[in-house]
């Protein structure tokens, strides 16, 4: 892997490469050119080559990319060569959706526990994942270390919960609370704002409707 710092834009595209290559591999495609892959992903062939070359020269001129090898290499870059234990704080709709999603376990992410404060949830087993009282989280993490913590709590307690996870040894936080977490050096956080994504979608929708409703400058026949 290249020693220089990879841009965030390239890193954000890596999961897309992995997903498309995995789907191609499933249907038996063993070789693909940068032009073909770019056409599938809505990127230029030049962009594909630039992104992949950040991590070494993997393709061959006139041959393209070996799909299984490139998929495996990108999976290794993304840290999928080994599994990860995860815990989830907040057993509401979002927390349960994360626990239920089968795609995570297929990629080596295992949810070992959910935590909540609601008496009607504590003690339940949701899709094979036990729900504990949030007060037990730090003790649980000491006995069952996890590197990834999912914060799916209300905003007012999200930062406190994040600190408790970090104290328990968690080093990566996936935050669904509607606020940005502050984390110390040595801990990474990804803040997922669902409304932000929806607002980007409505912005694009509005631009599209404006373009479609704009009067044409072409002369009438």
Residue 51: give its domain's CATH number.
1.10.10.10
Total domains in the fold of the chain: 2
* Full domain range(s) for residue 63: 8-77
Give pLDDT, residue 87: 98
Say yes or no to pLDDT of 121 above 90: yes
| Contacts within 8 Å (CB) and 24+ apart, 132-137 | 134/89, 134/161, 137/87, 137/89, 137/113, 137/161, 137/164, 137/165, 137/168
Q: Are residues 70 and 148 in the same domain?
A: no
Of 58, 77, 96, at which residue does a domain stop? Answer: 77
Q: What is the pLDDT of residues 8-66, one digit of tens each?
A: 888 889 999 999 999 999 999 999 998 999 998 999 999 988 888 887 666 566 678 89
Q: What is the pLDDT of residues 196-220, one digit of tens each?
A: 889 999 999 999 999 888 776 666 5
Distance CA(65)–CA(158), nearest Å, equals 43
Q: What is the pLDDT of residues 71-92, one digit of tens each?
A: 998 888 888 878 899 999 999 9
- DSSP conformation letters of 27-57: TT--EE-HHHHHHHHT--HHHHHHHHHTT--
Supply the pTM of this predicted model: 0.80
Q: Are residues 98 and 129 in the same domain?
A: yes
């Amino acid at each position: 892997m290249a020693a220089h710092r990879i841009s965030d834009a390239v890193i954000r595209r890596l999961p897309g490469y992995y997903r498309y290559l995995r789907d191609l591999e499933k249907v038996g495609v063993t070789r693909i050119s940068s032009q073909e892959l770019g056409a599938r992903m809505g990127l230029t062939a030049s962009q594909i080559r630039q992104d992949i070359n950040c991590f070494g020269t993997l393709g061959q001129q006139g041959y393209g990319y070996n799909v299984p090898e490139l998929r495996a290499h990108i999976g290794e870059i993304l840290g999928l060569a080994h599994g990860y234990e995860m815990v989830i704080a907040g057993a509401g709709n979002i927390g349960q959706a994360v626990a239920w999603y089968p795609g995570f376990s297929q990629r080596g992410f295992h949810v070992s526990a959910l935590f909540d404060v609601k008496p009607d949830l504590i003690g339940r087993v949701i899709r094979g994942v036990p729900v504990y009282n949030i007060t037990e989280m730090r003790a649980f993490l000491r006995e069952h270390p996890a590197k990834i913590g999912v914060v799916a709590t209300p905003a007012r307690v999200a930062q406190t919960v994040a600190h408790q996870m970090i104290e328990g040894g968690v080093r990566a936080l996936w935050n669904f609370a509607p606020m940005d977490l502050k984390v110390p050096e040595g801990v990474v956080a990804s803040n997922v704002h669902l409304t932000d994504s929806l607002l980007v979608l409505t912005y694009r929708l509005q631009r599209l409707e404006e373009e479609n409703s704009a009067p044409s400058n072409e002369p009438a026949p």
